[in-house]
Chain A
Amino acid sequence: MSTRVMATNSLRHSRLVAIVGAGAPWVLWLIGLTVMTVAATESLFSDSPPEVAVIATFATYVTAATVAFLLAGFMFLFALSCSLMLSWLKESVRPTIVARAVCLAFWAMAANAWAGAVFVLVEPPPAIDINELLAMPAGDSAEDILGLPWLDELQYVSAIAFVVACFAVLSKHVKRLHALLAVLFASATVTFVTAAIGWLGNTRL
């Protein structure tokens, strides 16, 4: 085998490893989230009449999928904001490095999803009455609606772990202070955008 072919194969192999390495946390996160959603939904509507449970389950799955994909989408906003801040700080870092850092830090979200799945399987949420659910005020948090008292705390911990992991990976390529500023700016941007849209939807302007 010629040196050129070997070099090409090696490059292909390293690319494949990089893609798999970056994609693995997303796949695991999706599986963990599916397990958690299915287990929680089955338990929530276990006492409802089957015909009500069918519609409620469908609505819950659609909502869960929407929220999950929105989270995945906003990871891109996070990466974009990081990259923007780094370019303002005159760091010549390639976007692929930032994207890879976000993908690697996504292990925190995968761990969050699996921890949630384990919690739900160990202690399933109490069954809920559909009329009670419909009567709940629109501002109630998912924690209150689903009856999972640990949900918010788990999300905070995983969000912090995600930001710290992202900082750790980025600081290998750029100055530590710049990496810190980039992840803080990105966190602020994502929080601002999601909070602003949420505020718009929940208030009367």
Chain B
Amino acid sequence: MERNLWIRNLSIAVTLWTTGSLLGFGFATHARSNEDNQGQPIVAIEEAREPSVPAASVKQASPAGKDLYFGILGRNLSVYAWLLCGLVSLGISTVVVTLFNGIYLGQTLGLASASGAEARSMAWLLLPHGILEVSAFLLAAAVGILGFRLARLWLTNPTHFPVAVRGVARLWPMAALGAAALIVAAGIETFVTVPLAQSQGATP
């Protein structure tokens, strides 16, 4: 993929993700401020947790680190696969999943910050694994967005379609790198973030 196309696709992915995060954050803080006005607690806030940690795993986090690791890894790899599926779904799955992920993260951050969580402790809970995780997701999104281009080529110029598909197939090392980043990120999340969250008395 040419450099300009990478930059363009990455920019689209970052924009979608940021828009989603802002939407989710804005909505959560707005809902929380309404709740403050009415003086009733939001049950869902107590259930808010870091998006990529499966609920069932959190409940039994300490005794089974391996289970938690594979739970997180499975969930993240499925999101990664949905993002890459944009290649065969007109880019729609990429756009939707990127936006959805952003909204979910923004909502969780919004609810946590509205509940009084400190920005510094939230950063400690998200950044160690988040940098690798989000980079991998954005990379997959940049590849998945190519689906729209492929679809247009398939409909308008079918003879050149196989050539374009071979070009995309050459991106496999990049996709493998993203998956490897997720494997490392799941390890960091399990063995750094979760113990850190437990020591702070928060449920990630």
Contact = CB atoms under 8 A, between A and B. Distances in A.
Interface of A: 49-52, 54-56, 58-59, 62-63, 65-66, 69-70, 72-74, 76-77, 80, 83, 94-96, 99, 130-131, 134, 137-138, 193, 196-198, 200-205
Given A62-B100, A134-B43, 13 more contacts: A51-B31, A54-B31, A69-B92, A70-B93, A72-B92, A73-B91, A83-B154, A99-B155, A138-B55, A193-B85, A193-B88, A201-B74, A204-B70
A203 B43 contact: no
A41 B95 CA distance: 24
B89 interface: yes
Nearest to B48: A55
Contacts of A66: 96-97, 100
A62 B103 contact: yes
Nearest to A72: B92
Closest 6 CB pairs of A and B: A73-B89, A73-B92, A201-B78, A204-B70, A200-B78, A51-B35
Contacts of A58: 27, 31, 107
A137 B55 CA distance: 9
A73 B93 contact: yes
Contacts of A55: 27-28, 31, 42, 44, 107
A187 to B, nearest CB: 15
A76 B147 CA distance: 10
Interface in B75-104: 75, 77-79, 81-82, 85-86, 88-93, 95-97, 100, 103-104
A138 B42 contact: no
Taking chain A's interface residues, is the majority helix, strand, or loop, or is none over half, making it mixed?
helix
Contacts of A198: 78
Taking chain B's interface residues, is the majority helix, strand, or loop, or is none over half, making it mixed?
helix
B34 interface: yes
Contacts of A65: 96
A56 B47 CA distance: 12
A72 B147 CA distance: 14
A201 B75 contact: yes
A49 B75 contact: no
A54 B93 contact: no
Nearest to A48: B43
11 contacts: A55-B107, A66-B96, A70-B92, A70-B97, A73-B91, A76-B90, A134-B44, A138-B55, A197-B78, A197-B82, A200-B81
